[in-house]
Every structure is written in structure tokens, then in C-alpha cells.
Amino acid sequence: MSANLEVMNPVAELGEKMVLPAPRLKDLNNKKIGLFWNTKPGGDAALKRIDELLSKRYPGITFQYLTYQLPTKPEQIKEALASKCDAIVATTAD
């Protein structure tokens, strides 16, 4: 009796995708900054500290906080923040 056995390699092939960084703002004066937290522990504390430090440094800066649990879809971020803010700071924490 004979049998055929097919051996599969469980290792995924690497994929590459070039992503260019977003254009940088000249400064943060009078800008609206989105602060995005994905609910991982510590991320909210980091964003509050960023708010404190940037508020002292840049006149007229404002913040919009947004929380989404993982996984967050890119369109959720775009709809909620990117269209309403000049820049976004996100934390992953832990």
C-alpha cells in the first residue's frame, strides 16, 4: 500500500509596502491635534502628558481625544480624526 503525502511550508511569505511619512507641520501654533488611544493600559496617561507639555509650548493649540478598541480600522481613524485635525498622536502603550 502506498500513499502520497504533500508537505506544506507554514511560513508566510514576506510582503513589502512602501509607506511615506505624512508631511510635517511647520509648527503647532493654533493647530488642532487628535490624541488617539487604543485602550491599552497607560496610553491615556501618555496622551494627557502630551497635552500638558504641548499646551505650554504652543499658543492656541487644541486637542480632540478619541478612543477606539483594537482592532481599529484605518477608515475609523480617518473619519473620526484625520479629517478634523491638523495632526494625530497615537499611543500603543503597555
Whose grid coordinates read 487628535?
34
For 50, half-sphere exposure in the C-beta direction (CA atoms, 13 angstrom radius) is: 20
Question: What integer pLDDT is reported at residue 29 of this predicted model?
Answer: 96
- pTM summary value: 0.69
Position 82 confidence tier, pLDDT thresholds 50, 70, 90: low
Which contacts (CB < 8 Å, 24+ apart) does range 49-55 have? 50/89, 54/28
Q: Are 64 and 33 in contact (CB under 8 A)?
A: yes
Domain ranges of the chain: 32-91
